[in-house]
Amino acid sequence: MKLDDSTGIKKGLTNYGDPAFSVYIRKAFAKAMGYADHELERPIIGVIDTSSGFNSCHHNFPDLIDAVKRGVLSQGGLPMVFPTISLGEMFTAPTTMMFRNLMAMDTEEMIRAQPMDGVVLLGGCDKTVPAQLMGAVSADLPALSLVAGPMITGDYQGERLGACTDCRRFWRDYRAGALNDQEIGAVEDRLCATTGTCMVMGTASTMAALAEALGIMLPGGAAPPAVMADRRRQAEATGRTIVSMVRKNLRPSQILTPNAFENAIRVLMAIGGSTNAVIHLTAIAKRLGISLGLKRFNILSDETPLLVNVKPSGEFYMEDLWKAGGVPVVMKELEDVLHGDALTALGTTVAENLAAVHHPPEWQEVIRTRELPLAENGGLACLFGNLAPDGAVIKRSAASSRFLTHRGKAVVFNSLADLHSRIDAPDLAVTEDSVIVLQNAGPIGGPGMPEAGYLPIPKKLLRSGVKDMVRMSDARMSGTAFGTVVLHIAPEAAVGGPLALVRDGDMIELDVPRNRLEMLVAEETLAKRRESLVLPEPRFQRGYGKLYIDHIQQANLGCDFDFL
């Protein structure tokens, strides 16, 4: 590659009114870091470092960055590492989702503002991968995603443990009185055995798999665990590949086509992926002018079997999926329904990449064959009806089959604070056939659409052995959670959606096979309730919170800002 004035160190000059001066002064400051002239003639690869003391999932990034740099240097590029904000799920209040768009803006603007010819997006924890993809597609510079990789499992009394499906199971048992304080403390010590992302098919694993399916991550890049040598080799190969993408000028807009998104949705269904991915994929596609639509998710879900036997839909963990061949083997099983001509970061097509995939021995336990799937259709379903005119989502693969068609009386909580103050009240009128409804936990009401949709089962029911019941809200749910939980109800209650009109005792009908969610209440009654409805006050009057509240879109539109 011959550098001209629009590439490398001469790209995007700082404006001092004299371009030649700007090059001279920039090179002088680059030389302060020890770079020689011949190095500054190379294509520059930005490497986004999202490590942070507040993000345990990205704790292996120093090692991965070393490997990426090796790969870049080996192909004649010059790696330049730079930071953006990081989002660690457990360390960010009120919820990382509130800051996904801020991270996307940071990513996009820093790619644009600094002199780089291509960029490696180093992410992993739930919101980081979609934020980086949203920013990178808007910047549309050659870009390649690399993730931290999942943790490997720990153990407790001989049982394998994985965050965070098992976190929730043990917490439920603790609430039910089956574990004491000492025992839950021992579980806490062992849940997260290594660095890396949650090792079940939560949002992080799902988004990594989808980046791979989209073709903007190397084949085989999603599943290798964070602590394995294979993860470092992926990083080194990512460094090599991004230089070749720069030489070919291969950009996200050429890779992320409507067909690539269909491939990703197929993979989402086959892996039993996180409900959050519906929002994130919608947002990434929308940045490219591609409208996915929840009904399209349903069509592809109905046509795609659930193949991956990983928690929370199945029984294994991400390290088992890696040993079984990872996403390439899943895509090989789906090959006849994928768009084989979709282009990938290697410059080859999906079909060309899959031609090289071989099944390892014993892979069928973790990745089922098309002939013997875990379920005939995909893990997610989108619901519509008078309770969710713009849609809602349920992870049917993690739900109890007996509740997939259900009628029950609503027990309504009008906020998270209301839920927490009353859910365990001994006199709460609730049975296992009730439907627990949470209002005002959506994008605006939450605020930030917290992962609070996995509503707790009342203690008195837990103690009598109830393990699941129908719960619904405008919130999200961690991809690691399980149960019959309806999420992302749109429009949300805080903007006056029908969810705001539900009252205790209303009959709610859930019919997942027919993709329906209804409240069986007369229209005149709803009209009266609508007239007297008082919407909650906006939570923020200044700063990023106000920008967020003023511009956030609803879940069915991907929760991106309306100006992006």
Looking up tokens 């820093």, which residue turns up?
A: 110
Is the separation of the CB atoms in 45 and 118 below 8 Å?
yes
Contacts with ligand FES, 415-444, as mask; x by CB under 6 A = ------------------------------
Nearer to ligand FES, 198 or 383 (CB): 198
Both ends of the chain: CA-CA distance in Å? 32
For residue 68, which of 80, 51, 55, 85 has the smallest C-alpha distance?
Answer: 80
Among 162, 202, 215, 448, binds ligand FES (CB under 6 A): 202
Q: Give the H/E segment covering residue 511.
A: strand 507-511
Up-side HSE of residue 329: CA atoms within 13 Å toward CB?
Answer: 22
CB atoms near residue 258 (< 10 Å): 16
Among 65, 68, 137, 204, binds ligand FES (CB under 6 A): 204
Q: How many residues bind ligand FES (CB under 6 A)?
A: 9
Among 51, 107, 138, 197, binds ligand FES (CB under 6 A): 197
Looking up tokens 């993809």, which residue turns up?
A: 133
- Smallest gap from Cβ 274 to ligand FES, in A, equals 10
Is the separation of the CB atoms in 82 and 49 below 8 Å?
yes
Q: Is 73 exposed, middle or buried (0-12, 13-18, 19+ CB in 10 A)?
A: middle
Contacts with ligand FES, 24-63, as mask; x by CB under 6 A = ---------------------------------x------
Looking up tokens 């965050």, which residue turns up?
A: 163
- Smallest gap from Cβ 362 to ligand FES, in A, equals 27
Residues contacting residue 99 through CB under 8 Å, at least 6 positions apart: 85, 87, 92, 127, 448, 544
- Smallest gap from Cβ 168 to ligand FES, in A, equals 12
- Smallest gap from Cβ 291 to ligand FES, in A, equals 28
For residue 294, which of 302, 560, 442 has the smallest C-alpha distance?
Answer: 302
For residue 432, which of 409, 401, 455, 452 has the smallest C-alpha distance?
Answer: 409
Nearer to ligand FES, 125 or 494 (CB): 125
For residue 326, which of 481, 154, 208 has the smallest C-alpha distance?
Answer: 208
For 347, the token pair is 């410059």
Nearer to ligand FES, 204 or 502 (CB): 204
Nearer to ligand FES, 89 or 212 (CB): 89
- Smallest gap from Cβ 235 to ligand FES, in A, equals 18
Among 198, 217, 218, 278, binds ligand FES (CB under 6 A): 198
Among 106, 126, 166, 518, binds ligand FES (CB under 6 A): 126
Taking CB under 6 A as the binding criterion, the range among 31-39, 195-203, 234-242, 259-267 that sits at the site for ligand FES is: 195-203
- Smallest gap from Cβ 125 to ligand FES, in A, equals 3
Residues contacting residue 508 through CB under 8 Å, at least 6 positions apart: 387, 407, 408, 409, 410, 435, 437, 470, 472, 502, 517, 518, 519, 520
Taking CB under 6 A as the binding criterion, the range among 60-68, 198-206, 275-283, 549-557 that sits at the site for ligand FES is: 198-206
Q: Give the H/E segment covering residue 165.
A: helix 165-175
- Smallest gap from Cβ 332 to ligand FES, in A, equals 26
Residues shown for the chain: 564
Contacts with ligand FES, 361-380, as mask; x by CB under 6 A = --------------------
Nearer to ligand FES, 89 or 560 (CB): 89
Nearer to ligand FES, 197 or 241 (CB): 197
Nearer to ligand FES, 137 or 204 (CB): 204
Taking CB under 6 A as the binding criterion, the range among 194-202, 417-425, 430-438, 463-471 that sits at the site for ligand FES is: 194-202
Contacts with ligand FES, 64-103, as mask; x by CB under 6 A = -------------------------xx-------------
The H-assigned helical ranges of 32-164 are 37-40, 61-74, 97-113, 128-139
**By CB under 6 A, residue 142 contacts ligand FES:** no
Is the separation of the CB atoms in 13 and 23 below 8 Å?
yes
- Which residues make up the interface to ligand FES (CB under 6 A)? 57, 89-90, 125-126, 197-198, 202, 204
